[in-house]
Structure 1
C-alpha cells in the first residue's frame, strides 16, 4: 500500500479574530498545523501535500517544511475543491488520507485504522456528540449502513436530531477521488464543494462506505475560535500531565503545568504548581522543581533543586546543584556539580565550576569560574564595553567580596581575594588580596543637615 496525505490548511479562520493564519495559532508550544503534520509523518506516507491559501507565505515560513509538498488554493471554494487542487500531484495507486490543519489532536493509531479500512473503498471517521450543532450529520439506512453526510445548514429537522457527525477525516483510493470529485456540485447554502459528497456518489454507484467512530470526540475537535483553542490546550496539557504521572513523575497539581515542547523526566522527579516547560527539557532523577518556574530548552542534572520563580533558558545544570529562588539562567549558562546560584542572580554564558557559589543579587555574564569559588552579594562582571563582550576568569577557590565590580577582560587567580566594594580592572594574581576602593575619611564635628523652614 502506498499512502499519501492531503492536509487542508487554506482557511482564513475569521472567527479567531487574529491576523495570524488559523493553522499557525500555537497549541502546546507549536502551531496547530505542525501537530497534524507530525501525526501524518508517523504513518510514514510517501508524500504529504499541504493545501494553503490565506497567509500561505507565513504558513510555509513557520513550518518544518522538509518533505512537504505545498499546494496553493487561490480561491477557498470548499473542502472538495481543496482536495481537487492537490490531486494532480498524487499517484494513481495511492491511498489518500485527508486531514485538516485545525484538527490537531487526532491520534496516529486512529488514522492508521482508517487507512487500513480504505484500501478498496472510502472510509470515514465519525464521532458521536452530545451537542452536534454545526457539524455535518451522518445519515444511515434502517440497517445502519452509511447513506450520506448532510451539512448542518442543509439538514432537515429530523436529520438535525442525529448525533453521529462527520469529522471530515476520510481516506479513499486516489482513483475514487479522481472519479467522483469532478462530479461534486455546490447546490447548498454555502455554495461550496463539499468533500463528503464523494461518499454519497460512491453509495449511488454501489460502493459501500466504511466508517470508524472515534472514542473521544475531543480528539477530532477542530479549532474555529479562541475558546475552542483554549479548550484543546487544556485537553492536551491534561494528556501530557497524565503521561508524566503514569511514568512516575509527581505533580503537585496536574491541572497547573504547561508543557510547550518535549519534557523528559527521570525517576522521583517532583514538579510544583504553575511551571512552564518549553522546547526540549530534560529533568534527571530526583530533580525538584519549585512553583512558578519557567524552563526552556535546558537539562537539569540528578538531585538538583530549582527553587520558586526561577527562569532557565538554554542552560545546562549538573547534578546536586541549587538554583534560585528568583534566579535567571540565560543561554550558555553551565553549572558544574554542586554549584549554587541563589536569589536574584542572573547569569549569561557563564561556566560556574563544581561547588562554586553565587548566592545573592549578582550578575555573572561571559564568565569562566573555577571550582569552589565564592561570589559575594551585589557582584557584577562588566562584560560589555558598548561594542564588544569580554570574558572574566575566576580561578579555583577565589573569593569575591560583596558589591565588587569586575571590569572585563580581567582574571582573578586561584585563591585570589577581592575585598568588598572593589572595582577590579587589572588581574589579581593567585592567593593575593585586591583592594580597589576609595580611602575612607571620617569628618569630626560634622552636622547632619536640617529641614529648611519655608514659612
Structure 2
C-alpha cells in the first residue's frame, strides 16, 4: 500500500443543523476534546499512518490538534483549499465527515480495499470515502458533499451499523456515550476497575493507575492523573488534578486544579483546589 492522505471535512455552518447552537458543530466538546478532534484522532491511529491529515473548514484552530501524533494542517472552507486537500500528487485519500466521531473502528476496513469505497452509517449518511483521483475530482466539484460519491460507477458501500453523523443534541449525546465507553474500556484493560461504567464521564486525557477503583457517578476531567490503588468514591468530580496512590475519596468530593498526596483520605463532601487554572 502506498502513501495516503487523511481529509476531515468540517463544512457545515453554525446553526445549519439540529444542534441549534451559535457554536460550530465541530467545536462541541466530547470527552474533553472538540467533536472534530475525534475524527482526526481516528485517522491518525490507522496503520499504516497517513502521510498527513488535512482539516477543511469548521473555524478550527491548528492548536486544537497539537496532541495528535501526525502532521495536521487546517485549511479554510474554500474550493481551492478543498482541492488542495483531496487532490494530492500521489496516493489515495480517506475523506471523513468531521461530525462522525465514532467511525474509527470501521475505517480500517476501507484502507484494505484496492477500489473506491464508501462507509455508510446506520443513519444512512456517508461517514467516509476511500477514493482515488476520479472520486476526489467529483468531491471537489460538488463542494465536499460526500453523498455525491454514490453516483461513481462501481463504487462499493461498506455498512457501519453503529456509525452516524452528529446532527442534533440527541446524536451528540449518543456520540459522547460511545466515546466514553471506548475511554473506559481502554482504562479497564490497563487495570482500572469501574463499578458501574455507564454512569461515569472520563475525558480522553485522564490517566488512572492500576488497581484503582472508580465508583458510580464520577466525573474525571482535563489532565487529571490518578495513582495506583486509589478509591474514588461515588459522585466525585475531579478537574485537572493529581491524585496520589493509595488515596481514598469517600464520595461527593470536588477536586479542582490541585494535588492530593499519597495515602490521603478525603471525607465525604470535602472540597480541594481552585476553580481557575
Structure of larger gyration radius: 1
TM-score, structure 2 as length reference: 0.83
CA root-mean-square deviation? 3.0
Deviation at 1:311, TM superposition (A): 1.9
CA deviations on 1:199-219 (whole Å, 9 max, x unpaired) are 533x1xxxx4344333xx33x
2:236 counterpart (293, 310, 313): 293
- The structure-2 alpha-carbon separation of the partners of 1:240 and 1:64, relative to structure 1 and needing over 3 Å to count, comes to closer
Matched, 1:167 2:126: yes
Deviation at 1:8, TM superposition (A): 0.9
Q: Could you tell me whether the CA contact under 8 Å between 1:7 and 1:49 is conserved in 2?
A: yes
> Where does the alignment leave 5 or more consecutive residues of structure 1 unmatched?
75-81, 136-165, 185-191, 332-345, 350-455
Matched, 1:64 2:60: no
Q: Could you tell me whether the CA contact under 8 Å between 1:264 and 1:281 is conserved in 2?
A: yes
- Tell me what 1:309 maps to: 252
The structure whose residues are more often strand, as a share, is: 1
Instruction: Provide the C-alpha distance between the structure 2 equivalents of 1:296 and 1:230, rounded to a whole number of angstroms.
Output: 21
**Could you say which structure has the greater relative contact order, defined with CA pairs below 8 angstroms and 6 or more residues apart?**
2
Deviation at 1:26, TM superposition (A): 0.9
- Tell me what 2:11 maps to: 10
TM-score, structure 1 as length reference: 0.53
Matched, 1:249 2:243: no
> Where does the alignment leave 5 or more consecutive residues of structure 2 unmatched?
none
1:124 counterpart (118, 133, 136): 118
The structure whose residues are more often helix, as a share, is: 2
- The structure-2 alpha-carbon separation of the partners of 1:178 and 1:19, relative to structure 1 and needing over 3 Å to count, comes to closer
Alignment of 1:45-444 (within 5 A): 45-52=50-57, 56=59, 59-60=60-61, 63-64=64-65, 67-73=71-77, 85-89=81-85, 90-107=87-104, 109-118=105-114, 121-127=115-121, 129=122, 132=123, 135=124, 166-173=125-132, 175-177=133-135, 179-181=137-139, 194-201=145-152, 203=153, 208-214=154-160, 217-218=161-162, 220-330=163-273
Instruction: Provide the C-alpha distance between the structure 2 equivalents of 1:125 and 1:262, rounded to a whole number of angstroms.
Output: 28
- The structure-2 alpha-carbon separation of the partners of 1:314 and 1:181, relative to structure 1 and needing over 3 Å to count, comes to closer
Instruction: Provide the C-alpha distance between the structure 1 equivalents of 2:144 and 2:174, rounded to a whole number of angstroms.
Output: 29
Aligned pairs, number:
268
Deviation at 1:41, TM superposition (A): 1.9
Instruction: Provide the C-alpha distance between the structure 2 equivalents of 1:179 and 1:10, rounded to a whole number of angstroms.
Output: 17
- The structure-2 alpha-carbon separation of the partners of 1:92 and 1:315, relative to structure 1 and needing over 3 Å to count, comes to same
